[in-house]
Amino acid sequence: MKHLFSPTRIVLAIATVFSLTGCELYFGGHDGNSSDHWSYCANDGYYTCQGDNCEWAGARCPDDPNYTCTTNDDCAAGCYCANGVCEEAGFCGRDGTCPDGFHCDEKRSSCVPDGCTTSADCKAGEYCDPASQSCTASCTCTTDAEAQSQGWGFCDETRGTCEPPNPNGSCAGPVDCNVIMTVCPDGQVPLIADGCWNGACGPIASCDVTPACRSLEHEGDCLGRSADCTSVYTGINCTNSSGAQCMAGSTGCTCQDFQFATCRDRTSGAAAKSVIGDGGKLTNMLGQ
């Protein structure tokens, strides 16, 4: 939505924004062609302007005490995110037009610090190195497998960028040691490092790569992956039609109760099947 302001309205808007500070006001620019950029707050939100043409940029104004940010994309054009607050740095059209220590985020036409806090602050093909807080070249990708084939940990598919392995451990990978799998709460999976369960857990929602079905230790998590995983249940007090306890190879068994046992890879087109476990308990693998 764009508005063309009359000279009178422009004067009133400028008078209003003179009382604002920091990111909510910008006059001038580091690019010789962007000196007519400015912005202001109105009743319906935040506007950024070039000359007399102003465009609505968002419902919240940066001077709102509740206004916070986590990445540069949360801030209006001409600003960047620093310690949870949008800070002003100026507009730009290309690299080389920002002050020392800054570069141009051409997508947002905004000068941003050369440093970074998350990989979202970097261009595609770069990730944020937490040690140096700088954008570092990696590679481009479309899948985790493609990133791993190039020696990286996983693919940030949103940015099409290879990311290094999670230093806390990965949600998936080969396990070739005798360490017992870590027990984790609902919504989390055990993490793997150097071919072993490393004793840590990570939220499934923020996994670097899709965890294997066997890593899903809770029924709800397994059922949430019904496209490729199958829930396995242990039957309690299972008997056949004559009332005898079910043993290996028994058919027509009925169980008083079932308990979730484990999560396994779904076999395409496989029918549900039952397997007798120790102590006369029936393990029922449901095709659901």
224 domain-assigned? no
276 domain-assigned? yes
- Residue 198 or 84, more confident: 198
Question: 44 with 6, same domain?
Answer: yes
Task: Provide the H-helix boundaries in the chain.
Answer: 7-17, 144-149, 219-223
In Å, how far are 55, 68, 97, 107, 185 from 138, measured between CA atoms?
A: 36, 30, 25, 20, 33
30 domain-assigned? yes
**The pTM of the whole model exceeds 0.75:** no
Question: 202 with 154, same domain?
Answer: no
Provide the pLDDT for residue 42: 73
- Residue 10 or 119, more confident: 119
Question: 127 with 71, same domain?
Answer: no
**Residue 218 Cα to chain centre, angstroms:** 22
Question: 85 with 11, same domain?
Answer: yes
252 class by beta-carbon count within 10 Å (0-12 exposed, 13-18 middle, 19+ buried):
exposed
Q: 128 - beta bridge partners?
A: 135
Question: 12 with 109, same domain?
Answer: yes
236 class by beta-carbon count within 10 Å (0-12 exposed, 13-18 middle, 19+ buried):
middle
Question: 96 with 9, same domain?
Answer: yes
pLDDT digits (tens, 9 = 90+) for 100-152: 888 888 888 888 887 787 888 788 899 988 777 778 889 999 988 898 889 88
What size, in residues, is the chain? 288
Question: 11 with 59, same domain?
Answer: yes
Provide the pLDDT for residue 6: 38
Q: Count up the domains in the chain and report the number.
A: 4
64 domain-assigned? yes
What DSSP designation does 18 have?
T
Distance in angstroms (rounded) separating the CA atoms of residues 188 and 185 = 6
Stretch 59-85: mean pLDDT, rounded? 70
Q: Could you tell me if 239 and 281 are in contact, meaning their C-beta atoms sit under 8 angstroms apart? A: no
Provide the pLDDT for residue 8: 37
Question: 130 with 109, same domain?
Answer: no
217 domain-assigned? no
222 domain-assigned? no
220 domain-assigned? no
pLDDT digits (tens, 9 = 90+) for 28-45: 333 334 456 777 777 777
In the chain, % of residues over pLDDT 70: 75
| Segments forming the whole domain that contains residue 257 | 229-285
Question: 51 with 101, same domain?
Answer: yes
223 domain-assigned? no
Q: What would the 3-class secondary structure string for 247-286 be?
A: CCCCCCCEEEEEEEEEEEECCCCCCCEEEECHHHCEEEEC
Q: With 70 as the cut, is the pLDDT of residue 15 above it?
A: no
Provide the pLDDT for residue 95: 78
Question: 26 with 39, same domain?
Answer: yes
pLDDT digits (tens, 9 = 90+) for 168-179: 888 988 899 988
pLDDT digits (tens, 9 = 90+) for 219-256: 999 999 999 999 988 888 888 888 888 876 777 888 88
46 class by beta-carbon count within 10 Å (0-12 exposed, 13-18 middle, 19+ buried):
buried
pLDDT digits (tens, 9 = 90+) for 181-234: 999 999 999 999 888 999 999 999 888 889 999 999 999 999 999 999 999 888
Domain boundary among 113, 133, 155: 113
Provide the pLDDT for residue 253: 85
Question: 140 with 235, same domain?
Answer: no
- Residue 103 or 23, more confident: 103
Question: 32 with 83, same domain?
Answer: yes
Provide the pLDDT for residue 207: 86
Distance in angstroms (rounded) separating the CA atoms of residues 179 and 110 = 50
Stretch 261-268: mean pLDDT, rounded? 85
Lowest mean pLDDT among 28-32, 61-65, 159-163: 28-32
